[in-house]
Amino acid sequence: MVDDAAFSLRTVIAPPVNRLIADLPDSLRDAEQAALHIPDERDDALHLLVTPEPIDPEQPPPGVGEWLDRFIAYHLQWRTRTPALLRIEAAKWDGEVVDADELDLTNPLAGIEFKLLRTLNADRARLSTICRARADTDEHEPVAVGIDPDGLDIRVRIGVVRCHCGDLDLSPEHAEASVQRLIEETEA
């Protein structure tokens, strides 16, 4: 949200630079700040105050290039010509306000994430069953694009859906076994 105008944004987290990457509408390129409401504007949502920083995809800042690729994996294409880093200034969640330096966007599964994604994507029929069971969406060609200790991000025809996995131990020590168990317990 900028001023009183609401916009829908697609983002990915770029942990090495503690920023989000987004494809801001061109009309917001010069905005000094914006408020993000995740998933939307309501009391129990995550609210972020961000400063957009347009980036050149041909010469991204250090540590950002692979995250531009991650954006494409999640969303398939850019809506705009120039992506932007969103520098988080502050966050509010569950009534608590924290400064940006108190936020840690790192994923403890980063070192094994791509291996876990390959395992999940090896059998699309089973992944489709996982989507039905955990995200209440019926998809025939899902693609696992992200995993963290709270769940899976699956790209489907309508966008990216979240499969919550609170019942699984997705800690770095147990994630591989938990993902394998999830796949084996899923009837294709």
Per-residue pLDDT reduced to its tens digit, 67-117: 888 888 988 887 776 788 888 999 888 888 888 888 888 889 988 999 999
Helix (H) or strand (E) holding 159: strand 159-164
Give pLDDT tens digits for 24-80.
777 777 778 878 777 666 667 788 888 888 888 888 888 888 888 888 898 888 777
Q: Give the three-class secondary structure for 168.
A: coil
Q: 97 forms bridges with which residues in the sheet?
A: 92
Q: In this structure, are residues 148 and 117 in contact, taking their beta carbons and an 8 Å threshold?
A: no
What is the chain's length? Answer: 188
> Which tokens belong to 103?
């936020």
Task: Read off the pTM.
Answer: 0.81
Q: What pLDDT does 1 receive?
A: 46
> Which tokens belong to 142?
């899902």
